[in-house]
Structure 1
Amino acid sequence: MKTKIKSVLTGIALVMGITTNAQTTQIENSLLWEISGKGLAKSSYLYGTVHMMCESDFKITEKTKSAFEKADKLALELDFDDASEVTAMQQSGISKEPLSKIVSTEDYQKLDAFLKQKLGQGAKNFENYTLVSIMSMVMFKSLDCTPKLYELEFFKMAAGRKIETLGLEKINDQMDFLGKSYSSHELINQLNYYDSDYFKRLTAIYNSEALTEIYQMTTNPKFMDAEGKKWMLDIRNKNWAIKMPELMKNESVFFAVGAAHLGGEQGVISLLRKSGYTVKPIMN
């Protein structure tokens, strides 16, 4: 099951981190936040992930491990405990139609040239893959290292403690949000942005826990327009903020979602605070 989950994550989780430009509010430099108040029996925790990082740069801080040990359940964006969801994740990487019939002739030629240069194989070798899967392959090539995934590591930690893993949304919903946010043309044009320099900068900012900078970097306007922002960030954040209270009402939950979802006026931190919860950074 864990091997299946890792292969699936490499196909979709990275792309779900792409978001759009928005006004930001400066908040403390911390990836880990405590949620309390409003009648909660116990504190819960909110952690911002980056979906993939080189193993040599990967770390889970002591404060994060401590918070995780206090939690009764783990909640990720997707439920890796659900076998049907894992199957759906695998299927989401396979295109229902040949790639050459989905994209325009001009975009197909552009993609073909790019893949030959980047991966050493032309677009005809990826006819049955979705553009999301192709983008993840390009990202792995750019990362050029042995990767580790925070979601998978937290899932393994939860399994070791024999605590339940929950999902805040379904993979089919994620793919629907993605389809409403990006056209095939936009996804192909974005392939050039994810080079080794991008990942080096993201890693440095992430490991400094500079949450606002992570938000600003991942919400660059070249990635998405206002309509995309609505689907990739605002609606998903609102859905999660509605679902989280019931999950953490009587038990402590460790929520781990993409770090770009935490910041901003419509971010999860802001939405929970507006709902009456106390959300404060854990600095050490």
Structure 2
Amino acid sequence: MKNLFLNCALTTVALALSAIGTPMATPALAQQAPTAAVETVDVDPALWVVKDADTTVYLFGTVHILKPGMGWFDEAVKDAFDKSDRLVLEMVEPDAATTQQLFAKYGLDTSGKPLTSKMTEDEKAIYAKAMEKVGLPVAAFEPLDPWAAAVTMQIMGLQKGGYDVNSGVETQLTAAAKASGKPIAGVETMESQLAIFDTLSQETQVRFLVESAKTVDDMTASMDNMVALWAKPDPDGLAQVMNEGLSDPKLHAALLTNRNANWAAWISKQLEKPGTTFMAVGAGHLSGSTSVPHLLTAYGIQAQRVEY
């Protein structure tokens, strides 16, 4: 479960946790100090295209959180974006008040049951050790549901390793779309994405949290490996790593398979409408045997890799 960030709603969760404005959330997502200028490294992530006589849909795999200095928004990616009439993301960010309401609904335990009361003594020890490593007291996440604590811990671990949500692909694409006047739409909503986590059983959520705690030390190295596969690009290698990281079948279905099927159906409907769309979703959704490009074949649609 440590390889969550290429396929889940990381941006959603990060926004929600930062917007809630409570003591247990703000240390994790405090405003990062401005980063020193870094040399830009040219990378060429995978890009696909689906088209018919009057419709084109570009499919671009994103990473929701990156280190500064990744030069991906150029060449074929920038060309496809510039040709597109609109940008479609996993979700469009709502206003701060809505974000706070949604996080309170889905990320906080409304029963008042403390987080640590849901763990065994062994699990508490693993969790306590991880919290010490990220610099927070054990009590900091007590009001959170286990999934929210797990994702916050992962974000904190990656921030310590130099990753920044503001350097993520969606953030940059959104800014570019606004600057050029392109409409922005989402195939999901913040509420639907947070609900994915909230509907997981408590057992699955706790297991997710404990696995995150166990891997807090090597989180940055794991993410570095996935980003390298994304940047190369090596979609097959990325799919293999993703499958290893999402070994829990319920999480795999909730975060990948079910959503991929919905998005493949959405794309098939878009081909009935003229125009050009730049669709950007987590790179994990575009890799492997249950990926969006693979599922499109059931509709008689072939996604082609754009070579560049």
TM-score in same-fold range (> 0.5): yes
Q: Give the C-alpha shift of residue 108 in structure 1.
A: 3.3
Residue in structure 1 matched with residue 176 of structure 2 by the alignment: 157
TM superposition shift of 1:162: 1.3
Q: Is the 1:48–1:257 contact (alpha carbons within 8 Å) kept by the matching residues of 2?
A: yes
Correspondences of 1:28-43 after superposition (within 5 Å): 31-37=46-52, 41-43=54-56
Deviations 1:183-238 (A, max 9, x none): 21232223333522112212221210111111111221x53322332222111111
- 1:221-257 deviations in whole A, cap 9, x for unaligned? x533223322221111111111223345222111111
Aligned partners of 1:234 and 1:267 also within 8 Å: yes
Superposed displacement of residue 31, structure 1 = 1.4
Q: Does 1:120 align with 2:131?
A: no
What is the alpha-carbon distance in structure 1 between the residues aligned to residue 185 and residue 208 of structure 2?
32
1:260 to 280, 284, 290: 284
Kept in 1, the 8 Å contact 2:84–2:276? The answer is yes
* Structure 2 CA distance for aligned equivalents of residues 56 and 114 of structure 1: 29
SS in 1 for 2:200: helix
2:132 is the alignment partner of 1:110: no
* In structure 2, distance between residues paired with 1:259 and 1:276: 22
1:95–1:197 CA distance, 2 compared to 1 (3 A): same
**SS of residue in 2 equivalent to 1:43:** strand
Q: SS in structure 2 opposite 1:213?
A: helix
Percent identity between matched residues is 22
**Residue 30 of structure 1, CA deviation:** 5.5
Offset of residue 90 of structure 1:
5.0
Q: Distance in 2 between matches of 1:83 and 1:276?
A: 41
Q: Which amino acid aligns with 1:144?
A: G
> Which residue number corresponds to residue 134 of structure 1?
152
Whether 1:231 and 2:254 are equivalent positions in the alignment is yes
Are the aligned partners of 1:74 and 1:165 in contact in 2 as well (CA < 8 Å)?
yes
Q: Are the equivalent residues in 1 in contact too, given 2:264–2:295 (CA < 8 A)? A: yes
Moved more, 62-71 or 188-197: 188-197
Q: Secondary structure at the match of 1:183?
A: helix
Give me the CA root mean square deviation: 2.9
User: Hey, what's the Cα distance between the residues in 2 that align with 1:63 and 1:48?
Assistant: 13
Report the secondary structure of 2:209's partner residue. Answer: helix
Task: Quickly say closer, same or farther: Cα 1:195–1:228, change in 2 above 3 A.
Answer: closer
Give, as a single letter, the amino acid of the residue that structure 2 aligns with 1:46: L
The change in CA–CA distance for 1:278 and 1:88 in structure 2 (over 3 A counts) is farther
SS at match of 1:53: coil
**Structure 2 CA distance for aligned equivalents of residues 89 and 230 of structure 1:** 23
Partner of 1:195: 219
Identify the match of residue 267 of structure 2 among 220, 244, 251.
Answer: 244
2:90 and 2:281 in contact (8 A); partners too: yes
Is 1:68–1:254's contact at 8 Å kept on the other side of the alignment?
Answer: yes
Q: Tell me what 1:64 maps to.
A: 77
Cα distance change on mapping 1:12 and 1:204 into 2, 3 Å: farther
Q: How many residues align?
A: 260
The one of 207, 215, 218 aligned to 1:185:
207
- In 1, the alpha carbon distance for the partners of 2:232 and 2:160 equals 22
C-alpha contact (below 8 Å) 2:115/2:141 kept by paired residues: no
Note closer, same or farther for the CA distance 1:238–1:67 as it changes in structure 2 (3 Å cut): same
How far apart, CA to CA, are the structure 2 residues paired with 1:277 and 1:7?
29
In 2, the alpha carbon distance for the partners of 1:67 and 1:105 equals 51
- Separation (CA, whole Å) in 2 of partners of 1:229 and 1:7: 19
Kindly provide the CA deviation profile for residues 97-153 of structure 1, in whole angstroms up to 9, marking residues without a partner as x. Answer: 45436622423342122111x212222122234324423433334533555111111
Q: CA separation in 1, counterparts of 2:97 and 2:56?
A: 31
| 2-structure distance, mates of 1:279, 1:142 | 37
| Whole-angstrom distance in 2 between the partners of 1:44 and 1:231 | 25
Structure 1 residues 7-58: Cα deviation after superposition (integer angstroms, max 9, x where no partner) = 8553679xxxxxxxxxxxxxxx961111112xx5221100011111100235
The secondary structure found in structure 1 opposite 2:136 is coil
Higher relative contact order (CA 8 A, sep 6+): 1
Distance 2:191 2:221 in 1: 32
2:58–2:277 CA contact under 8 A, matched in 1: yes
Aligned to 1:19: none
- Secondary structure of the residue aligned to 1:152 is helix
